[in-house]
Structure 1
Amino acid sequence: MSTVEPQPPAPHTVTLHPVEEADRLRLFTWRNSADVAPFMYTDHQITAEEHNRWFDGLGQDPSRLYWVICLDGVPVGLANFADIDLKNRRCAWAYYLASPSVRGLGVGSFVEFWMIEYAFNVLKLEKLWCEVLLSNEAVWKLHQNYGFQQEALFRGHVIKEGEPRDVVGLGLLTSEWAARREAMRARLADKGYVA
């Protein structure tokens, strides 16, 4: 009697598509969810009016770009560039995964790679930077794995749940990414992702 070796699970497919009208309610729900709100700078529940004002402004501000992250075709999060400064060739970026069930699958790693590549190869920037709550250690450590350097510790920078919270400022230069890129691509390939 022969035994059948278990096959590894099929790799997931991560894609990003520009935010569109069909995402309006989804983003509103995500932003106010208990899985996302604790990692944002603001604590209050976003009202429908606030959200609609923000959403209606998308595409009108050339310094901001937004994408919905999909896992196997299912929307699972949001990624964005902000403060795109073509003169100084830099911008900020952020992302969130709206469901804890997709965390640990390598989705964040794929998004990190994709966004870095877009910043340096499409927008032709020299620097990508971000700010992360110090308590969100998993995310700022992921950034560091991709070559981001801690450039600042903003003490008591935001008020969360009535208390001042520290924020880590991180930055990545295109020259640093060039030295890290292939190693990070190989790590994604080990997880079954093609970047």
Structure 2
Amino acid sequence: MDASLKIEGEKIFLTPMSLEDAEDFVRWRNSDFVMQRFFIKEPFTVEGQIKWITNKVLTGEVVQFVAWDKADNVKIGSTYLINIDKTNKKCEYGMLIGEEKYAGGGRGTEMARLTSDYALQHMDMHKVYCRIMADNPASVRACEKGGFEKEGLFKADEWVDGQPKDVYFLGKFEYEK
């Protein structure tokens, strides 16, 4: 992916994740605000994130962006496309807003829309899907407003902190190419 790529929305813009973003990402990902909404609860390390960026992002196996607030020109979070299946033309979407004061106000919706549209329009994907814990209604709403549709609720699908969690599966499709 071109390092100079900039995907613009009304409130945010996305840039490709680079090695310089590792510390910010780890700080966000390890915060209580973010960690409570993720399936994986183990803390991340800067070394591990640098390895991830080097081996996954920079090789194109994963597409990961940094989200910036346009008004303040500050990094606020990240979006990513993983499990990229070129044969079946689908990939999995995920996101986090790491700077709590920027949560709400439509930024998550823009993150979902801009990233999924990138996958559908520039990566030749037919479907972008995501999994969200049912007890995270803000993320479900953001994805729905970003063009995703609920495909189903899977009861007790994931075990998180020793408890079964219900998980929504959502998808966004490109019907005409």
Give me the whole-angstrom Cα distance separating, in 1, the residues matched to 2:89 and 2:78. 23
For 1:35, which of 33, 36, 40 is the aligned residue? 33
Contact 1:125-1:174 at 8 Å conserved across structures: yes
- Aligned to 2:69, which of 68, 71, 95? 71
Q: Distance in 1 between matches of 2:13 and 2:116?
A: 15
Pairwise CA distance, 1:175 = 2.7
Provide the secondary structure at the position in 2 that maps to 1:139: helix
Q: Distance in 1 between matches of 2:141 and 2:54?
A: 34
- 1:151 is aligned with what amino acid? E
Counterpart residue number, 1:17: 15
Distance in 1, matches of 2:153 and 2:96, equals: 21
Q: Distance in 1 between matches of 2:173 and 2:11?
A: 28
Maintained 8 Å contact 1:79/1:94: yes
Structure 2 contact 157–166 (Cα < 8 Å) conserved: yes
**Is residue 81–residue 91 contact of structure 2 (8 Å, CA) maintained in 1?**
yes
Flag the structure with larger Rg. Answer: 1
The 1:110–1:135 alpha-carbon spacing in structure 2 relative to 1, beyond 3 Å, is same
- Can you give the 5+ residue segments of structure 1 that lack an aligned partner in the other structure? 1-11, 179-195
Aligned to 1:76, what secondary structure does the other structure show?
Answer: strand
Q: Counterparts of 1:139 and 1:70 in 2: how far apart (Å)?
A: 18
On the 8 A contact 1:63/1:85 being kept in 2, the answer is no
Return closer, same or farther for 1:145/1:24 CA change in 2, 3 Å cut-off. Answer: closer
Aligned position for 2:133? 133
Q: Is 1:148–1:171's contact at 8 Å kept on the other side of the alignment? A: yes
Question: Match of 2:135, SS?
Answer: coil
Match of 1:184 in 2: none
| Structure 1 Cα separation of the partners of residues 52 and 78 of structure 2 | 14
- Who is 2:96 aligned against? 96
Compute the displacement of 1:46 (Å): 2.6
- The answer to whether structure 1 residue 107 and structure 2 residue 116 are counterparts is no
Aligned CA-pair RMSD:
2.2
> Unmatched 5+ residue regions in structure 2?
1-9
Q: CA deviation at 1:44?
A: 2.3
- Tell whether 2:171 aligns with 1:167: no
Taking structure 2 as the reference length, the TM-score comes to 0.83
State the secondary structure of the residue aligned to 1:53: helix
Percent of pairs with identical residues: 23
CA contact (8 A) 1:62 1:84 kept: no
CA drift of 1:49 comes to 4.7
Aligned residues: 166
